[in-house]
Chain A
Amino acid sequence: MDIARITTLIVAMAFLLPVLPVQAAMAHGVDVTVTPREAVEVVASFDGGDPMSGAQVTVFAPGDPAEPWLQGTADEEGRFYFVPDPARPGTWEVRVRQAGHGEIIRLEVDGSGIAGTTGTGLTALQKVLMAAAVGWGAIGTALYFKRRAA
């Protein structure tokens, strides 16, 4: 292929560019790198079991509790993912909030990884037992004062 033919080809392509703007844009170089990283999955639900879909999630980096490091919204299932900066070890804070309901979770991030936390989700049996204990206390109080009054 001689120089003239290549030049003609380039000129022809240059003429085509404005005609095919979309294709030209797609021809820009793109470099996609996929790297597995240790991410944090936040799952938020109300204590009745319903997911906090659309809850606002705010992540605070260690040592900076006033300035949000990341801001996002939980998905339909109340899930939210983020990758903490490994260069900033310490206690990361995740605040989940929706309609005045919310929770602050603290995560320990150090060189070796992320220590996860689980909320204090009580089982139904635990709840029933605790409620029964308090109820029994109330009945006892009632009986005590009824007897004293009689």
Chain B
Amino acid sequence: MHIPDGILPVSVAVGGFAAAGGMTWLSLRQIERKHSDPRQGIPKASLLTAVFFMASLVHIPVPPASVHLVLSGLMGVVLGWYAFPAILVGLFFQAVMFQHGGLTMLGVNACLMGIPALLAFSIFRLRGLLGETSRVPNAVLGFAGSFVAVALGALLAALLIVATVPAYLDASVERAAVTGLLAAHIPLGVIEGVFTAMVVLFLLRVQPDLLKESL
């Protein structure tokens, strides 16, 4: 779901930057409101940005396609409102270093991963109702949030791509290819869901405060 340069029209790129700017502003405002010292969350956000940055290099073969880890759900679950700026920074480095997603598409890509991350965060917050310290709700909500984040991100990317196929291309071929790639993201969502659940259970055991801070 990293969209490279030259695939989407310029208007979409501009809209993506505008939306990403708004989301960043909203996230920073929420961080300022909810944390007495916003700097406290930065070490955690910084380390997870590094994990997010490297995750896209991990390719997972889902025959016939090959997908890579996204970890947007994990970012949302563990970081909360810090997730959007963290994803923005991670995507910037991916674009500059590995040409993974275009720089002009940075805004679009940030929305494609950052907004599902915030959705994963709000799903994971339901643990407040189901039992914050018990293992099962934490694991299940971590899994669900992460799965939904991957699925939603892939779906939004697919819709954007299919809606803007240039006239000179064979739209049906492109649609079939996008559908195939979209299907490959379902097992990826399961893998990331399990991974997020494992991370959540681990943090719950060794450092439950790290999960609490995001609330």
Contacts and interface: CB of A to CB of B under 8 A. Distances in A.
Helix, strand, loop or mixed for chain A's interface?
mixed
Interface string B49-86: 11001100101000000101000000000000000000
Interface in A117-150: 120, 122, 127, 130-131, 134-135, 137-139, 141-143, 145-146, 148-149
A82 interface: no
B170 A131 contact: no
A128 to B, nearest CB: 9
Contacts, number: 97
A145 B170 CA distance: 51
Given A99-B174, A135-B50, A135-B53, A50 B66 contact: yes
A101 to B, nearest CB: 7
Interface string B21-38: 000000000000000010
Helix, strand, loop or mixed for chain B's interface?
helix
Contacts of A148: 39
Given A99-B161, A120-B99, A135-B50, A142 B43 contact: yes
Contacts of B46: 138-139, 141-142, 145
Given A97-B169, A101-B7, A131-B53, 17 more contacts: A54-B177, A56-B174, A58-B169, A97-B7, A98-B177, A100-B161, A100-B181, A103-B6, A104-B6, A130-B97, A131-B97, A134-B53, A135-B53, A138-B49, A142-B42, A148-B39, A149-B37
Interface of B: 3-7, 37, 39-40, 42-44, 46-47, 49-50, 53-54, 57, 59, 66, 68, 93, 97-100, 157-158, 160-161, 168-170, 173-174, 177-178, 180-181
